[in-house]
């Protein structure tokens, strides 16, 4: 198996001279932070959560068997061996998968359903991104109560202080801290395995629990409690979606190596150790993770676990920034202020509004739920919902894009849907106890994503109704309008017709520049568009040109930089002779067919609060002219 994994280095990283070993180390630090901190609470919650279990041999062996086979089937088989192969030019994640399937399918009866699945998965991710920092940091700091019960009063304020500090440093970039992620997590995983081995030696019979018949026996003994326990067992694989989402940063093979040879064995040994401890001492169920360690080592373990949870939180925060950037580029969110925190790493970005909104919600979550046990009830439903949707999209991918035989596609997809569906159904029972929170966040995110996408299409259609044919415009304006020196670039979302800003400028100023460029930015369903095919120039005659600028959904749209490289549209353009004309529409909600009035008002509010095209496209402030108009939607 190792030869198959090591046969080649991913090309996107080989170009930068990065070794597979270095990529695997980086993956340990970033990709596995979330799933690596699951031992802090997963086994504990299975026994003392909202559906308590007796701490005896049949239940301990049953839960351990479920955890092992959950990690094996969901993480190893589903994600590592199957879903990691569904890459969009090296990138992964729900939106990348949506773009990949959409590009392959084109316009078909499947397209709306696939788009809806991708949007729902993205909305659920935001719910997960809020809960992960809260439960991870809180569960680690709660170890202080194990060290000394007198420290219990410090758990909440210390957790909030750590979270505030974590979100506050986001604007400075994470390159320096990021270099520490890998080594810290390597130490953390080694400690996980070491503590596990110490306790396995005290009750080696727990190794028998790896047999699936103990999981089956658990269901036969108590079917109802076994089903409800799935809602806590799945906490052992929270973060599995990160393997796919972070594929673009490290490559498929590096992630496979990190999981198969480091993360998975260490996690399994730790769960075995916790189970051995519970068999020998059922009272340890109050916090089996920290009670694995001898008394003298518990405070250092709290510090190490806290560092690991900070890393896990950092990974999900960075993921929220990346998903938001993709959503903006793909037309599901308005333009947001995106700051690059590294001159060399394009993926290191910071989005202020996302950062501070996440912090606010995370703090409210910590204060509202108060403990990791209470938060565990809210955790899981967003994760299992995303996993279920990913399985649905994988089915469409294997059948319609990869062209697998229908029987193979249905069998594999059906198996994943059955497993994910059981875990999701178990988590549905936790909705009254806190599971409503991620669903509420997802519902708000879904409303915003779909409102923006639908609103943009409505505005485009309304503008198209009043658009003028470019050939007719050229004939009517040729020789009749005064031309002045300089270059005028008119930005428009449509690759056809005359931009509204051009018509307004001609109407009010009665002039045209000697060179007029109609510029349209197109975001394609790939992460990056190579420079060779980024710009398309069409000569419309009489000093008019249409330029299509193509970007990937992970590319930064720097229009002046691109235009400085273009010489086919009448020669090179000097920045000092070039003006950019933007159209700013004032939206008027109406009863015309489109969206509900409240959604039209929400869309209008989003338009007003979006970052201006001038800032988003890096346009020079002293060379921009905005022309307004009203559009009824």
pLDDT tens by residue, 484-495: 999 999 998 888
Cα–Cα distance for residue pair 581/54, rounded to 1 Å: 70
Mean pLDDT of 182-202: 93
Say what angle helices 20-30 and 175-200 make with each other, to 10 degrees.
80
Most confident region among 6-15, 51-60, 307-316 by mean pLDDT: 51-60
Q: Is residue 323 part of a domain?
A: yes
Domain coverage including residue 174: 2-434
Do both 232 and 350 map to the same domain? yes
pLDDT, averaged across the chain:
86
The burial of 332, by beta-carbon neighbours within 10 Å (0-12 exposed, 13-18 middle, 19 or more buried), is given as buried
Do both 261 and 326 map to the same domain? yes
Q: Is residue 451 part of a domain?
A: no
If residue 66 lies in a helix (H) or strand (E), which one and from where to where? helix 57-70
Kindly report the pTM of this predicted structure.
0.83
Q: Is the pLDDT of residue 15 over 50?
A: no
Q: What strands lie across the sheet with 624-632, from one edge to the other?
A: 535-541, 544-551, 511-523, 482-491, 578-588, 624-632
Mean pLDDT of 163-190: 80
Mean pLDDT of 32-43: 91
Q: Is the pLDDT of residue 483 over 60?
A: yes
pLDDT tens by residue, 427-439: 999 899 888 999 9
Most confident region among 112-126, 178-192, 219-233 by mean pLDDT: 219-233
Residue 524 confidence class, pLDDT cut points 50, 70, 90: confident
Cα–Cα distance for residue pair 561/548, rounded to 1 Å: 14
pLDDT tens by residue, 79-122: 999 998 887 777 777 878 888 888 777 777 777 888 888 899 88
pLDDT tens by residue, 499-508: 888 988 888 8
Residue of higher predicted confidence among 382 and 11: 382
End-to-end CA distance of the chain: 58
List beta partners, residue 515.
487
Q: Is the pLDDT of residue 511 over 70?
A: yes
Retrieve residue 281's tokens: 């001492």
Residue of higher predicted confidence among 549 and 629: 549
Please work out, in degrees rounded to the nearest 5, the angle formed at the alpha carbon of residue 591 by the alpha carbons of 589 and 597. Answer: 55
Do both 307 and 417 map to the same domain? yes
Q: Supply the Cα-derived Rg of the chain in whole angstroms.
A: 27
Do both 149 and 263 map to the same domain? yes
pLDDT value at residue 176:
53
Mean pLDDT of 596-611: 89
Cα–Cα distance for residue pair 336/432, rounded to 1 Å: 34
Do both 271 and 374 map to the same domain? yes
pLDDT value at residue 345:
53
pLDDT value at residue 3:
32
pLDDT value at residue 9:
34
Token match 């970039």: residue?
Answer: 173
Do both 119 and 67 map to the same domain? yes
The residue out of 384, 418, 434 marking a domain boundary is 434
Q: Is residue 445 part of a domain?
A: no
pLDDT value at residue 10:
38
Out of 18-22, 238-242, 442-446, least confident range: 18-22
Q: Is the pLDDT of residue 175 over 70?
A: no
Out of 105-119, 151-165, 172-186, least confident range: 172-186
Answer whether 253's CB lies under 8 Å from 8's CB: yes
Q: Is residue 439 part of a domain?
A: no
List beta partners, residue 624.
580
pLDDT value at residue 12:
41
Q: Is residue 561 part of a domain?
A: yes
Q: Is residue 210 part of a domain?
A: yes
Token match 């894009």: residue?
Answer: 401
pLDDT value at residue 332:
92
Q: Is residue 155 part of a domain?
A: yes
Retrieve residue 576's tokens: 């000092």
Nearest one of 527, 6, 34, 69 to 256, comparing CA atoms: 6
pLDDT value at residue 342:
61
Q: Is residue 457 part of a domain?
A: no
Do both 194 and 283 map to the same domain? yes
Cα–Cα distance for residue pair 141/163, rounded to 1 Å: 11
pLDDT value at residue 179:
63
Q: What percent of the chain has pLDDT over 70?
A: 94
Do both 254 and 164 map to the same domain? yes
Backbone angles phi, psi at 93, to 5 degrees: 110, 165
CATH number at residue 80: 1.20.1740
Do both 474 and 352 map to the same domain? no
The burial of 486, by beta-carbon neighbours within 10 Å (0-12 exposed, 13-18 middle, 19 or more buried), is given as middle
pLDDT value at residue 440:
93
Domain count, the chain: 2
Do both 278 and 399 map to the same domain? yes
pLDDT value at residue 416:
94
Residue of higher predicted confidence among 462 and 543: 543
Do both 112 and 203 map to the same domain? yes
Most confident region among 11-25, 280-294, 307-321, 587-601 by mean pLDDT: 280-294
Do both 291 and 351 map to the same domain? yes
Residue of higher predicted confidence among 627 and 196: 196
pLDDT value at residue 93:
79
């Amino acid at each position: 198996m190792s030869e198959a994994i090591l046969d080649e280095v991913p090309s996107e990283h080989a170009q930068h001279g990065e070794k597979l070993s270095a990529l695997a180390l980086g993956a340990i630090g970033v990709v596995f932070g979330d799933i690596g901190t699951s031992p802090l609470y997963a086994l504990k919650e299975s026994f003392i959560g909202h559906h308590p279990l007796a701490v005896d041999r049949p239940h301990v062996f049953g839960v351990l068997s479920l955890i092992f086979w959950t990690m094996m089937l969901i993480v190893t088989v589903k994600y590592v061996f199957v879903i990691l192969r569904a890459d969009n030019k090296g990138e992964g994640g729900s939106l990348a998968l949506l773009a990949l399937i959409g590009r392959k399918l084109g316009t078909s009866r499947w397209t709306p359903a696939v788009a809806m699945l991708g949007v729902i998965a993205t909305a659920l991710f935001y719910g997960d991104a809020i809960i992960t920092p809260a439960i991870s940091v809180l569960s680690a700091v709660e170890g202080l109560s194990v060290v000394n019960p007198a420290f219990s009063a410090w758990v909440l304020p210390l957790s909030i202080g750590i979270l505030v500090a974590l979100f506050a440093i986001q604007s400075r970039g994470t390159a320096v801290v990021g270099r520490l992620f890998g080594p810290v997590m390597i130490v953390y995983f080694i400690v996980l395995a070491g503590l596990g081995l110490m306790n396995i030696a005290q009750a080696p019979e727990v190794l028998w629990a790896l047999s699936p018949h103990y999981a089956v026996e658990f269901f036969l003994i108590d079917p109802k409690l076994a089903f409800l326990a799935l809602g806590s067992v799945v906490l052992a694989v929270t973060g599995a979606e990160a393997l796919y989402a972070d594929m673009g940063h490290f490559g498929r093979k590096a992630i496979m190596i990190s999981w198969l040879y480091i993360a998975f064995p260490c996690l399994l040994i730790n769960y075995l150790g916790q189970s051995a401890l519970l068999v020998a001492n059922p009272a340890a169920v109050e916090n089996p993770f920290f009670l694995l360690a001898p008394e003298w080592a518990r405070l250092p373990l709290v510090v190490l676990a806290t560092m690991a949870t900070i890393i896990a939180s950092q990974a999900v925060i960075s993921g929220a920034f990346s998903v938001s950037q993709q959503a903006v580029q793909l037309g599901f969110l308005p333009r947001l202020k995106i700051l690059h925190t590294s001159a060399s790493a394009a993926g290191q970005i910071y989005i202020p509004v996302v950062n501070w909104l996440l912090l606010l919600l995370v703090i409210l979550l910590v204060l509202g739920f108060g403990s990791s046990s209470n938060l565990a009830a809210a955790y899981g439903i967003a994760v299992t919902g995303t996993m279920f949707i990913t399985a649905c999209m994988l089915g469409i991918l294997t059948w319609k894009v990869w062209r697998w035989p229908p029987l193979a596609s249905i069998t594999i997809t059906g198996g994943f849907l059955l497993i994910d569906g059981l875990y999701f159904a178990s988590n549905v029972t936790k909705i009254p106890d806190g599971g409503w929170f991620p669903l509420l966040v997802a519902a708000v995110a879904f409303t915003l994503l779909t409102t923006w996408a639908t609103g943009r299409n409505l505005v485009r259609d309304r503008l198209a109704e009043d658009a003028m044919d470019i050939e007719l415009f050229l004939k009517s304006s040729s020789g009749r309008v005064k031309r002045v020196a300089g270059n005028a670039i008119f930005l428009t979302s449509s690759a056809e017709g005359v931009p509204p800003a051009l018509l307004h400028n001609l109407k009010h100023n009665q002039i045209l520049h000697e060179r007029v460029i109609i510029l349209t930015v197109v975001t394609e369903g790939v992460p990056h568009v190579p420079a060779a095919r980024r710009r398309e120039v069409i000569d419309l005659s009489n000093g008019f040109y249409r330029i299509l600028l193509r970007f990937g959904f992970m590319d930064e749209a720097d229009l002046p930089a691109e235009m400085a490289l273009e010489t086919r549209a009448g020669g090179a353009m000097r920045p000092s002779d070039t003006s950019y004309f933007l159209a700013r529409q004032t939206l008027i909600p109406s009863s015309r067919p489109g969206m509900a009035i409240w959604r039209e008002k929400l869309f209008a509010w989003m338009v007003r609060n979006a970052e201006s095209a001038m800032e988003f496209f890096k346009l020079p402030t002293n060379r921009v002219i905005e022309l307004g108009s009203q559009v009824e939607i």
